[in-house]
Amino acid sequence: MGLRSSLSKPLAKYIANQQQTWMYNAPAFQNIWYKKLVNQAKNTAFGRDHFFKDIHSYEDFKQAVPVRDYEDIKGYVQQIIEGKDDILWPGKPLYFAKTSGTTSGTKYIPISKDSIPNHINSARDALLNYINETGKADFLDNKLIFLSGSPVLDTKGSVPTGRLSGISNHHVPAYLRTNQLPSYETNCIEEWEEKLDRIIDETIHQPMGLISGIPPWVQMYFDRINARTGKPIKDVFPTFELFVYGGVNFEPYRAKLYDSIGKKIDSIETYPASEGFIAYQDSQHAEGLLLLANSGIFFEFIPTDEFFNENPSRLSLEEVEIGKNYALLINNNAGLWGYSIGDTVKFVSKNPYRLLVTGRIKHFISAFGEHVIGEEVEKALKYAMQRHPETEVVEFTVAPMVSPSEGLPYHEWLIEFATPPNDLPQFSLDIDKRLTELNVYYDDLIAGSILRPLKIHSLPKNAFINYMRSQGKLGGQNKVPRLANDRKIADVIVRL
């Protein structure tokens, strides 16, 4: 056992013990954070505009601070860019995390000196929980690869600005930097395919212990290594033992990824966002991700079926119910207030509070009132893949076909298979069957002959890579939307 792995175990035990102090009493810690955040920001421009000095209860807070998205804070962000202090949070942000929005264009999400530990320590603690639970730490003595965005930062006003993964790269602990790959120079390459080839050059002969990244881009890395060597990943990296991922549901990628590796390995799911590190998998045995209730964020939840109402219910953590979908709101120590990050979550446990990420609040199909969501299509696909175990999926998206050239409308599933099912028509029927069980509105539309059963459009190899390349979003932290209520994405993919 090496020095890093030896030293990590007492630290892992310490962090796990610290976690015990809040994870079973999360609502109380959330209440502490709500009060602390309001008090610290009461003299900011936002705090004055929203009468923070008069807030004495959560009900007062909800009355004073409306639900908002980026468009609603854009004016405050512009004041920061112009050089003003104490706007959303005391002082100036340490960084802006740059992220793309569908309606807002580029978004600049503030990260403060107070909030940076949430992003950095949470990633560390996810690994330490794994070490404490399993006793496995040897991966720390080998090389660690993080497939991430460029660490090169621009400035917006006087604030350093870049992708969250690039910002995080500047805060990798010193004791891990010596075994971190790829090199800084390679990480700075903007063009993804050039960068990927250089990463392979640097890593292919190294003893890899941990690989981290968004599953489709890790899969692309594995595919290119296999093409270059003719070997499964387990033979190229015999010391590879831990995969860390986040950003998308792993299930559609799991079979293909493990097939590329050649064996099953342990994995840790994380839930980072530019707005904050929200949750991580704290156990290899419990379902769901542990909500980080003591990390500088006060969370709120809106039932998804009320989100677009004029006055939706707005709940604190102690008011949520298991099994119900909620839109997630963030209030944090970087100055986001009542901020909808666009994700939907569902709790699977309240002791401690563990959740699943179920989709995006604006990613759904409801062309006929069915309101099919991401969680439902992913569950339906998983069901069909279990019934057709030979099937491996590279990527997929779903869109409505409202006006087909003939016959009834339908949902079109655009799927790139690594290995297609032996019986594609039955595979399609199995997805449709499960979807009717999961969504009563979809079932009614099928039964009432308003929709016909879904159709699968099998796409050629690299269809989604070509699509993401055409959009300038190849690699990094970019993700293909699972669902759309129109055919803007689908029609482009089909034409490529």
Query: pLDDT tens digit string along 319-347?
Result: 999 999 999 999 999 999 999 999 999 99
Give residue-wise pLDDT tens across range 422-474.
999 999 999 999 999 999 889 989 998 889 999 999 999 999 999 999 988 88
Q: Which residue has the tokens 């419990």?
A: 286
Residue 476 pLDDT class (50, 70, 90 cuts) = low
Torsion of CA 299, 302, 307, 311, to 10 degrees: -100
Domain ranges of the chain: 1-296, 364-495
Q: Which two tokens stand for residue 342?
A: 């666009």
Is residue 417 a contact partner of residue 391, using CB atoms and an 8 Å limit? yes
Residue 248 pLDDT class (50, 70, 90 cuts) = confident
Question: How far is the C-alpha of 276 from the C-alpha of 112, rounded, in Å?
Answer: 11
User: Over 50: is that where the pLDDT of 102 sits?
Assistant: no
Give residue-wise pLDDT tens across range 148-184.
888 899 999 999 999 898 898 888 877 777 889 999 9
Q: Where are the beta strands (DSSP E) in 307-458?
A: 325-332, 339-350, 353-360, 364-365, 372-373, 392-401, 410-419, 455-458
User: Over 60: is that where the pLDDT of 41 sits?
Assistant: yes
What phi and psi values does residue 83 have, to the nearest 5 degrees?
105, 5
Give yes or no for a cis peptide into 182 (omega within 30° of 0). Answer: yes
Q: Which two tokens stand for residue 374?
A: 């991401």
User: Over 50: is that where the pLDDT of 142 sits?
Assistant: yes
Give residue-wise pLDDT tens across range 351-378.
999 999 988 888 888 888 888 988 899 9
Residue 330 pLDDT: 98
Amino acid (1-letter code) at residue 246: G
Q: Choose the CATH number for 364-495 among 2.10.70, 3.30.565, 1.10.3470, 3.30.300.
A: 3.30.300
Question: How far is the C-alpha of 19 from the C-alpha of 13, rounded, in Å?
Answer: 10
Residue 214 pLDDT class (50, 70, 90 cuts) = confident
How many other β-carbons are positioned within 10 Å of the β-carbon of residue 473?
A: 15
Question: Residue 183: which residues within 8 A CB-CB, separation 6 or more?
Answer: 202
Residue 460 pLDDT: 95
Is residue 435 a contact partner of residue 454, using CB atoms and an 8 Å limit? yes
Residue 101 pLDDT: 55
Average confidence score pLDDT of the chain: 93
- The answer to whether domain 1-296 and domain 364-495 are alike in fold is no
Is residue 417 a contact partner of residue 395, using CB atoms and an 8 Å limit? no
Q: Where are the beta strands (DSSP E) in 375-436?
A: 392-401, 410-419
Taking 3-state DSSP, the helix, strand and coil percentages for the chain, each rounded to the nearest 5, stand at: 40, 25, 35
What DSSP string describes 91-132? S--SEEEEEE-SSSSEEEEEE-TTTHHHHHHHHHHHHHHHHH
The architecture of the domain spanning 1-296 is: 3-Layer(aba) Sandwich (3.40)
